[in-house]
A and B are shown apart, each in its own frame.
Chain A
Amino acid sequence: MFDLAYFSQTLVNGLSVGCIYGLIGIGFCVIYNASGIVNFAQGAFVMLGGMITYVLLTTLHLPMIVAGSIAIIVVALLGVLIERIVVRPLWDRNATMFVMILATLAVQIVIERTTLILVGDQPKSIPVFTDLPPIRIGGVSIGYQTLWIIGVSLVLIALLALFFQKTLVGRAMRACSINREAAALQGIPVSRMLALSFALSAALGAIAGILLTPTQFTAFNVGTPFAISGFIAAIVGGFGRPFGAFLGGIALGLAQALAVFGLGSGLKNVAALSVLLIFLFLRPSGILGAAK
């Protein structure tokens, strides 16, 4: 029989996790637009965001806002580091796209395993940002963390829109995504834009990880599933469209929620991957069409 309250609850959960997928998807698009590279280590940023915050909270007992900020900065710097020591040498050698994918996948493994060695394999969690009982509307309860996730995501989207539309740097990055040679001829430092895109994308991933960790948990190996979900979000939205990716993330979150509602939670990832395959086979350019 159909339980409306449970159904609505599932949708709310799907919406909040969908925002997270959307943020990760935007991270893919930012790097892809600046360089044409698909960074398969994107999931590592998500994992590290939550994990570094956890470590700072438990060892140094910093306040949440400080710990989170430090985590975001550290992960952004790590993004630049990866760009400098892995992506740039390959880029300079004109490596094929496949080699680039494999190298970033290897980066993911290295980060995962280093984390495993440093903090162990036990799942970790951080406290919710606002420790109040959830708001109840009818039979649906909405936790404050859900509101945080949706709120912060919307603010980030607005800030990104401002960044890409109004600031010189943001417009330079967009110019790179449209035509790199032409951008270089206009005096835009294309290679610095690549480093910047890694920093921005890593920071977005870290924020997604910090927002999500209180509602679920984080462990060394949560990265890859999130990277895949983010990638699906980016494909559904039409690869290279940051805001399409956000909508794609929400669509994926809702689709996954419906799959959990209809089929049980065990097949959640299979459902997401099936969405990916259906889109790849039937409409690889996404809902909105590929970016140009």
Chain B
Amino acid sequence: MPTLPTTISTNAGLLLRYLPAVLAVGLIAYAIVAGGHFVTLAGFALIYAVFVTGLNIFMGYAGQASFGQNAFAAIGGYASAVLTATYGWPPIPALIVGAAGAALCAVVIGYPTLRLRGHYLAMATLAIGLIVYEVTVQWQSVTQGYMGISGIPPLGIGSWEVTSDRAQLIMLSIVVTLCMASAWLIRNSRFGRAIVALSGSEDAARALGVDVARYKLAAFVVSAVYASLAGSLFVHIVGFVSPEVFGMHMVILGFTMLYVGGIGTITGPLVGAIVINLLPETFRGLKDYQDLVYGAALILLLIYAPGGLASLGNALKRRPSTPIPATAPKGARP
């Protein structure tokens, strides 16, 4: 992060605060107009924005850690792929079944797991991500193992299908807008205030009458549904799925986006997803370097800018000698 002079007025601070979000929307609009390779990149960015929005609800708002969100993306993605490509279902019911399945799994997994704290919770969720990965590799009769499932139809209703690149991008933009709007509604609902409260202090939240265990579980289920939706969108846009699609790198990528965009903010997931997908386009062809760069970038962000791009505006107003706590900045307004 460049060192910014502290003398810039608050107006500039305010501008900087919204600048990333404005630029992000501008880039998507440009992609829709320009077409070509850019559309594919923007599409992936929007799918990841859905995934990271879910992650943000569980981590940014509720202050919990899940290293296994890729499990739910895999459940959604494979449900869509198997039901449409193998059994000929229409995409929308398949997507809903996938989301319901992911929600059910989140309840079953979350009920015992969320009693754990700290590194126990981290390792338990990491293990769940790996178990689902192993299952997608081993359950060959359904998932076809490493070979993957191809020939997944595009999204659509009845005979109307979203096939062209631009139409897909417009559809994804609408989906992401709805996701961010729903995240905003969640954040400002009774539920949202409760999970932000429990992220600050579970004991204090409990004293205020928040049923901590139930709200944590609910936040986990909501984030799982977002992840599942992202998984379904991915398989329909790409038309192919294999276990590698939902591997560990998805988690690291998601976290990097969340930290770049700003954890605990509404637009952070979108900004992060777009920055990570579009700006380092030079790394695109070289997948090996990509993960290396993301990993290194994540380490630097965690150390030097735990608030992400969305906190740039705040950084101008007061340059804190002690950094903002990385999980759930309580002062962050939507």
Contact = CB atoms under 8 A, between A and B. Distances in A.
Interface of A: 38, 40, 86, 89-90, 93-99, 101-103, 105-107, 109-110, 112-114, 116-117, 224-225, 228, 231, 235, 266-267, 269-270, 273-274, 276-277, 280-281, 284
B119 A106 contact: no
Given A106-B298, A106-B299, A224-B248, A99 B131 contact: no
B219 to A, nearest CB: 15
A273 B131 contact: yes
B65 A98 contact: yes
Given A95-B302, A99-B302, A235-B123, 4 more contacts: A40-B122, A97-B119, A106-B296, A270-B135
Given A106-B298, A109-B252, A93 B303 contact: yes
Contacts of A89: 303
Contacts of A95: 302, 306, 326
Contacts of A40: 122
B5 interface: no
B147 interface: no
B302 A273 contact: no
B237 to A, nearest CB: 25
B287 to A, nearest CB: 9
Contacts of A94: 322
Given A269-B130, A280-B124, A107 B248 contact: no
A110 B248 CA distance: 13
B112 interface: yes
B122 A103 contact: no
Given A90-B302, A102-B255, A102-B298, A96 B292 contact: no
Contact of B127 (A99, A105, A277): A277
B327 interface: yes
22 contacts: A86-B299, A95-B306, A98-B326, A99-B306, A99-B327, A101-B67, A102-B302, A103-B303, A105-B252, A106-B295, A109-B292, A109-B294, A117-B292, A228-B127, A235-B120, A266-B138, A267-B134, A269-B130, A269-B131, A273-B130, A277-B112, A280-B123
Nearest to B115: A281
| Interface residues on chain B, size class | 35 or more
A113 B123 contact: no
Contacts of A276: 123-124, 127
B285 interface: no
A238 to B, nearest CB: 13
Nearest to A276: B127
B289 interface: yes
Contacts, number: 116
Interface of B: 65, 67, 112-113, 115-116, 118-120, 122-124, 126-128, 130-131, 134-135, 138, 248-249, 252, 255, 288-289, 291-292, 294-296, 298-299, 302-303, 306, 322-323, 325-327
Contacts of B302: 90, 95, 99, 102-103, 106
A88 B131 CA distance: 32
B127 A38 contact: no
A189 B250 CA distance: 40
A96 B264 CA distance: 15
B323 to A, nearest CB: 6
A107 B299 contact: yes
Nearest to B259: A102
A113 B291 CA distance: 7
B288 A117 contact: yes
A113 B298 CA distance: 14
A231 B127 CA distance: 11
Nearest to B294: A109
A90 B113 CA distance: 27
B136 to A, nearest CB: 11
Contacts of A114: 292
Nearest to A104: B299
A92 B124 CA distance: 27
Contacts of A113: 288-289, 291-292, 295
A107 B295 CA distance: 7
Most chain B CB within a 10 A radius of its CB, from A106, A114, A235, A284: A106
A284 B116 contact: yes
A175 B113 CA distance: 32
